[in-house]
Amino acid sequence: MKKRVLVAMSGGVDSSVAAGLLVEQGYDVVGVTMQVWDYSVCNTNEGVGTCCSTTDVDDARQVANHLGIPFYVINCEEPFRTFVVDPFIKSYLQGQTPSPCVNCNTFLKFNLLIRKMEELDCSYLATGHYAKISLNERNEYAIYRSGDDEKDQTYFLFTTERAILPKILFPLGDLKKEEVRKIAERMGLVNSKKKDSVGICFVGDKGYARFIEDEVSRNLLEPGVVRLYPSGRVLGEHSGVHNFTYGQRKGLGLSHSEPLYVLKIDPQTRNVWVGPEGYLYKQELELQNPKWINPVTPGETVTTKIRFHHKGAPSRLFYDRETERVRICFDEPQRAITPGQVAVCYRGEELLGGGWIT
Quick one: average pLDDT of 4-31?
A: 97
The CA-atom distances, in angstroms, between 202 and each of 53, 73, 83, 334 are 9, 18, 13, 30
Q: Is the pLDDT of residue 43 over 60?
A: no
Whose CA is closest to 54, among 70, 68, 73?
73
φ, ψ for residue 202 (rounded to 5)?
-95, -5
Domain boundaries, the chain: 4-128+171-205, 222-275
Indicate the pLDDT class of residue 45, thresholds 50, 70 and 90. Answer: low
Element (H, E) at 72: strand 71-75
pTM of the model: 0.92
Are the CB atoms for 86 and 77 separated by under 8 Å? no
Whose CA is closest to 349, among 318, 306, 305?
305
CA distance linking residue 241 with residue 159, whole number of Å: 28
From the candidates 104, 122, 329, 345, give the one annotated as an active-site residue. 104
Q: Which of helix, strand or coil describes residue 183?
A: helix
Give the per-residue pLDDT at 39.
Answer: 60
Helix-strand-coil percent breakdown of the chain, rounded to 5?
Answer: 30, 30, 40
Indicate the pLDDT class of residue 272, thresholds 50, 70 and 90. Answer: very high
Alpha helices in the chain (DSSP H): 13-24, 54-67, 77-80, 86-93, 100-104, 113-119, 177-187, 208-215
For the domain with range 222-275, which CATH number is right: 3.40.50.880, 3.40.50.720, 2.30.30.280, 3.30.2350.10?
2.30.30.280
Q: Is the pLDDT of residue 38 over 90?
A: no
Give the per-residue pLDDT at 320.
Answer: 79
Q: What is the pLDDT of residues 255-270, one digit of tens each?
A: 888 999 999 999 999 9
If you write DSSP's letter for every residue of 8-35 in order, what string do you get? E--SSHHHHHHHHHHHHTT-EEEEEEEE
For domain 4-128+171-205, give the CATH number.
Answer: 3.40.50.620
The number of C-alpha atoms within 13 Å of 34 and in the hemisphere containing its C-beta is 28
Residue 104 known to be catalytic: yes
* Burial (CB count <10 Å: 0-12, 13-18, 19+), residue 315: buried
Are the CB atoms for 353 and 291 separated by under 8 Å? yes
CA distance linking residue 98 with residue 103, whole number of Å: 10
Are the CB atoms for 116 and 6 separated by under 8 Å? yes
* ω into 171 cis (within 30 of 0): no
Q: Is the pLDDT of residue 46 over 60?
A: no
Whose CA is closest to 28, among 84, 74, 88, 68?
68
Whose CA is closest to 31, among 86, 85, 72?
72
Q: What is the pLDDT of residues 300-347, one digit of tens each?
A: 999 999 999 999 999 999 987 777 789 999 999 999 999 999 999 999
Across the chain, mean pLDDT equals: 93
Are the CB atoms for 37 and 202 separated by under 8 Å? yes
Residue 101 known to be catalytic: no
Whose CA is closest to 190, among 63, 342, 57, 17?
63
Quick one: average pLDDT of 45-61?
A: 71
